[in-house]
Amino acid sequence: MKDSRANIAFRCLSSAKTAPPLIQLESLYFGIYILHASTWTKLKRRRYKSRNKKFQGPWITDELGIDRGDRIRLQLGDPHETGETSAIYEGISVAVAGGVPGETVDVEITRRYPDSLAATVIEIDNPSSDRTEPLCPYYLACSGCQWQHVTYERQLELKWERVERAIREYSEFAGVNILPTLPSPDQFGYRNHARFTVRKSGEIGYVNRHTRQWLRVDKCLLMADQINSALGKMQDHVRGMSQMSIRVGVNTGDMLIQPKLPNPAIDLESGGRDYTEALNGRSYRVAGSSFFQVNTAQAENLAEILADRLQLRDDETLIDAYSGVGTFAIMLAPYVRRVIVIEESNSAVEDAKHNAQDIPNIEFIKARTEDAMPKLSGEVDVLILDPPRRGCHPEAIEATKQLLPGKIAMVSCDPQTMARDLASLCADSPFILEEVQPVDLFPQTHHVECIAILKKA
């Protein structure tokens, strides 16, 4: 373990007693400087601890004697749950940005947590063959892309491995077929939604999720061209704002900027309620507060996968739970007799009704899924569950077991919560998990969408 700054300062001050005058002065000055730095670091750590209300107990990273800015050498292991590469330093977990599994690297500590560290690669001893040159000048400093330094082929494999690890945590799923990750048609420029943080000066950028440092961004390579064009017009000219959102219809050219821009000189409409996007040739109204998939091309593919894997019939009743603006319900309505949409967001239900106004076999329930499903009666043939990242509410799982639909599709953006919910669905029920299809909606990041198909035995 490294010497603490306080110990170094003590030795410097002690040696000053017997050293020659000039050395005494230098030792005394250096000792006071180190002691001051040590005290200041402890004060900063105490303040940081006091802000962390969730963590209870001693900070085990205090014993390492290292902090932000220090450098250490690490052997990199599997991808970390946050997308970085994992490593262990003196028994402490380290999430390393910019690494590839199997590499030996020198890293700089970017943040110290109570029981773990965050770091960024500085030098690489043995670069992996899976490594590629990132295209973005803000890469790593921004933290939005975790895997831009990894070849796209390897990204797809890493996402499959992440899904496989989550599913195999449950022994009952040992034989479940996990299909290869479906690649995105676009590896860059695919996002139809951007959120930016604005400084008092009117500069627009992102905040690094580890260091919390703000970074000016003039172009984001993940965003659709229309978003970057709008960003260029607004950069440096939105003084007085703190946050802003830009959403675009990739297939329509429509755009929604929220909130209203304070500068009337910017030639962009802003402050509206909604925008329009088109999927498979059909228009969808989407409010600023309504959920919509960020990758338009892959959203179309998700619906096609559902139609193919569920083998829908024209005499079936389908429930679309957590439906958002009704994209799945509307695209699948022609294949079934009846569709029941369940959604709790006021704006999303309004959008869904508007989007489905010419479709006679869709009905809407504005309620939480866990509240609405227990009240449903009658035969349900197909159920689509598309919950938020936290997963399904336990009461929604229990209601599903009571309804006993013949076919279930779970659409999830979090493999861990998906696997947990699938295990709950299959426990003490006739449901069998048949397959899981990973779909890459988020190239250059560790995020992955999945469609899990269950059938009733």
Q: Give tens-digit pLDDT for 36-64.
A: 444 444 434 433 443 445 666 788 888 88
Dist CA 258 CA 273 (whole Å): 8
pLDDT at residue 82, as a whole number: 83
Residue keyed to tokens 């017009």? 233
Are 418 and 412 spatial neighbours (Cβ–Cβ below 8 Å)?
yes
Are 413 and 376 spatial neighbours (Cβ–Cβ below 8 Å)?
no
Instruction: Tell me 156's DSSP state.
Output: H
Closest by CA position to 313, among listed 403, 382, 409: 382
Q: Quick check: helix, strand or coil at residue 215?
A: strand
pLDDT digits (tens, 9 = 90+) for 74-127: 999 998 878 899 999 999 999 999 999 999 999 999 999 999 999 999 999 999
3-state secondary structure 32-75: HHHHHHHHHHHHHHHHHHHHCCCCCCCCHHHHHCCCCCCEEEEE
Model confidence, pTM: 0.85
Dist CA 236 CA 128 (whole Å): 40
**450 has a pLDDT exceeding 90:** yes
Are 323 and 352 spatial neighbours (Cβ–Cβ below 8 Å)?
yes
Contacts of 129 (CB under 8 A, 6+ apart): none
C-beta pairs of 56-59 under 8 Å, 24+ apart in sequence: 57/114, 59/114, 59/115
pLDDT digits (tens, 9 = 90+) for 226-248: 999 999 999 999 999 999 999 99
> Cis bond leading into 259, ω under 30°?
yes
* Cα→Cα distances 127→72, 145, 149, 338, 379, Å: 17, 19, 11, 55, 57
pLDDT digits (tens, 9 = 90+) for 140-189: 999 999 999 999 999 999 999 999 999 999 999 999 999 999 999 999 99
279 φ, ψ (degrees, to nearest 5): -125, 125
Q: Quick check: helix, strand or coil at residue 130?
A: coil
The percentage of residues in the chain with a pLDDT greater than 70, rounded to a whole number, is 88
Closest by CA position to 318, among listed 342, 339, 343: 339
pLDDT at residue 65, as a whole number: 86
